[in-house]
């Protein structure tokens, strides 16, 4: 529970920081700290169920502070979290390069899904697809660059709040032949 609320607070603080940061760095050059936190949680969080509730709450909070439809970012973060959770168990994402490539892919798919869901709900124009894709590509690059730093921050918070949980899962995964 302590871990849950600590990361809920961290997620909300990162959102506030992101909002302030966007005043100085405009999209697509501004990293999406919220999404990076979701990926970091997916790679370290011990239980899928509580992790899902956590990212859903952060997603709904992001929707309220953003121009998206209520539930849009919540839905996509739930999907991103689940996908990253599964990928974290299947693939070796230990090194910097695998992590960077993984975050690039997640961010790019996330951006495409936002576009498609906006299009489905009539909030985007089909003709803007190329501009969106190009912006999304650069945004994915920026997110990938920031990924090691944010994941390292998350690891520190994990250790600070409950060092045992992170290491237990890590040891458990290594014993199972998986990797984090």
Binding segment (CB under 8 A) for another protein, from list 2-10, 73-81, 145-153, 157-165:
73-81
Q: Is 175 in the site for another protein (CB under 8 A)?
A: no
Q: Is 128 in the site for another protein (CB under 8 A)?
A: yes
First-to-last C-alpha distance (Å) of the chain? 22
Q: Is 135 in the site for another protein (CB under 8 A)?
A: yes
Give yes or no for a contact between 106 and 83, defined as CB atoms under 8 angstroms apart: yes
Give yes or no for a contact between 73 and 35, defined as CB atoms under 8 angstroms apart: no
Alpha helices in 45-176 (DSSP H): 48-64, 72-90, 96-120, 129-176
Q: Is 130 in the site for another protein (CB under 8 A)?
A: no
Residue from 5, 9, 53, 116 in contact with another protein (CB under 8 A) = 53
Give the Å distances, CA to CA, from 28 to 33, 40, 53, 136: 13, 21, 28, 7
Residue from 8, 124, 141, 161 in contact with another protein (CB under 8 A) = 124
| Closer of 28 and 166 to another protein (Cβ) | 28
CB within 8 A of 149, min separation 6: which ones? none
Q: What's the closest the beta carbon of residue 92 comes to another protein, in angstroms?
A: 23
How far apart CA 38 and CA 59 sit, in angstroms, is 9
Binding segment (CB under 8 A) for another protein, from list 38-46, 75-83, 87-95, 144-152:
75-83
CB within 8 A of 138, min separation 6: which ones? 28, 29
| Closer of 48 and 98 to another protein (Cβ) | 48
| Closer of 71 and 155 to another protein (Cβ) | 71
Site string for another protein, 1-40 (x = CB under 8 A): --------------xxxxxx-xxx-xxx-x-x-x------
| Closer of 71 and 148 to another protein (Cβ) | 71
């Amino acid at each position: 529970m302590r871990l849950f609320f600590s990361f809920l607070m961290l997620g909300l603080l990162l959102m506030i920081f992101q909002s302030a940061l966007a005043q100085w760095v405009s999209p697509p050059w501004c990293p999406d700290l919220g999404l990076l936190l979701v990926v970091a949680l997916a790679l370290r969080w011990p239980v899928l169920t509580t992790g899902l509730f956590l990212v859903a709450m952060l997603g709904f909070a992001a929707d309220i502070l953003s121009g998206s439809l209520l539930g849009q970012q919540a839905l996509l973060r739930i999907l991103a979290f689940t996908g990253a959770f599964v990928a974290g168990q299947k693939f070796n994402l230990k090194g910097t390069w695998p992590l960077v490539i993984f975050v690039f892919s997640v961010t790019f798919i996330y951006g495409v899904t936002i576009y498609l869901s906006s299009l489905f709900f009539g909030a985007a124009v089909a003709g803007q697809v190329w501009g969106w894709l190009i912006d999304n590509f650069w945004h994915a690059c920026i997110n990938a660059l920031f990924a090691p730093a944010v994941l390292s921050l998350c690891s520190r918070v994990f250790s600070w709040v409950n060092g045992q949980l992170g290491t237990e899962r890590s040891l458990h995964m290594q014993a199972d032949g998986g990797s984090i």
